[in-house]
Amino acid sequence: MNNKLKRMRKAYKKKDVKAMIKSHNIGDLKKFEASHHHYEGRYLKSIVYGGLDGIITTFAVVAGVAGASLSSGILLILGLANLVADGISMAVGDYLSSKAERDFYSTEKEREKWEARNYPKGEKQEMIEIYMKRGLSRQDAQRLVNIISKKKNLLVDEMMIEELRMINDVKSSPAKNAVTTFISFFIFGLIPVSAYITDLIFPGTIKNPFLFAIILTIIALLLLGIAKFKFTRKHWIRSALETLIIGGLAAGVAYLVGYLLSGLA
Same domain, yes or no: 196 and 98: yes
CA distance 226 to 47: 13
Which domain covers residue 138, as residue numbers?
Answer: 37-264
Q: Which segments of the chain have a pLDDT < 70?
A: 1-9, 11-13, 15-43, 168-172, 230-234, 236, 263-265
Give the model's pLDDT for residue 256: 86
Give the model's pLDDT for residue 186: 93
Same domain, yes or no: 90 and 205: yes
- Number of structural domains, the chain? 2
CA distance 83 to 184: 11
Same domain, yes or no: 255 and 162: yes
Same domain, yes or no: 77 and 16: no
Same domain, yes or no: 218 and 142: yes
Give the model's pLDDT for residue 245: 85
**Which residues contact residue 156 at a Cβ distance below 8 angstroms, ignoring those fewer than 6 apart?**
109, 112, 113, 116
Same domain, yes or no: 110 and 178: yes
CA distance 154 to 162: 12
Same domain, yes or no: 10 and 95: no
CA distance 83 to 74: 14
Question: What is the 3-state secondary structure of 152-171?
Answer: HHHHHHHHHHHCCCCCCCCC
Give the model's pLDDT for residue 148: 86
Same domain, yes or no: 26 and 126: no
Give the model's pLDDT for residue 38: 45
Same domain, yes or no: 101 and 230: yes
pTM metric for this prediction: 0.68
Give the model's pLDDT for residue 33: 46
CA distance 49 to 227: 10
CA distance 63 to 250: 9
Same domain, yes or no: 46 and 157: yes
Give the model's pLDDT for residue 224: 83
Same domain, yes or no: 48 and 155: yes
Q: Which helix (H) or strand (E) holds 63?
A: helix 44-67
Same domain, yes or no: 200 and 242: yes
How does pLDDT run across 54-102, given as a tens digit for each residue? 898 898 888 888 888 888 888 899 889 988 999 999 899 888 888 888 8
